[in-house]
Amino acid sequence: MEAEISFRSEIDLKPKSKDAGSFKICVSALRSDTSISLIPNFVLSYNDYEGVISSYPNDLKQLNDWLYLAGLSDQYVDIANSQLTERICKSIIMVDSPVCATLVYMYCKVIVPSPPRIDSIVR
């Protein structure tokens, strides 16, 4: 199915000491015809930027599986991966600090096609 994909980022310049340097990615999916989440949110959490760089490529397989489960087509999974990877790279470049905590949200609104109208079926 088609999807509208949007992003939001947060950078905490003064995080709690246990969160310093952390990087978290949260992905959620909603259907266009309801406000109910399709499946539980997908979360990737890293202790530091080096963890993102070394683990994120392998974590994409899990993310892809989750996006397919949410109902995205191949085309929109590719778009989501590309845009999310770009957002992560920009965040790492922009926040080159071991004391900041970074959070990236990706929202996927899965477009559910409208059912055909009954009068158009009868004709």
pLDDT digits (tens, 9 = 90+) for 9-45: 998 988 998 888 899 999 998 887 776 666 788 999 9
The whole-angstrom distance between residue 40's C-alpha and the CA centroid of its chain comes to: 12
Would 120 be classed as within a structural domain? no
pLDDT at 64 over 90: yes
118 is a domain residue: no
In a domain, 23, yes or no: yes
Please indicate, yes or no, if residue 93 is contained in any of the structural domains.
yes
pTM: 0.80
Residue 121 belongs to some domain of the structure: no
> Strand pairing of 101-111 and 2-12?
antiparallel
Could you tell me if 71 and 38 are in contact, meaning their C-beta atoms sit under 8 angstroms apart? Answer: yes
Rounded distance, CA 103 to CA 8, Å?
8
Q: Tokens at residue 22, please?
A: 């952390």
Paired with 31 in beta bridges are 110
- Domain total of the chain: 1
| Domain assignment present for 123 | no
DSSP state of 71: T
User: Is the pLDDT higher at 79 or at 120?
Assistant: 79
119 within domain boundaries? no
Domain extent at residue 98: 2-112
Amino acid symbol at 59 = D
Q: Does the pLDDT value for residue 95 go beyond 90?
A: no
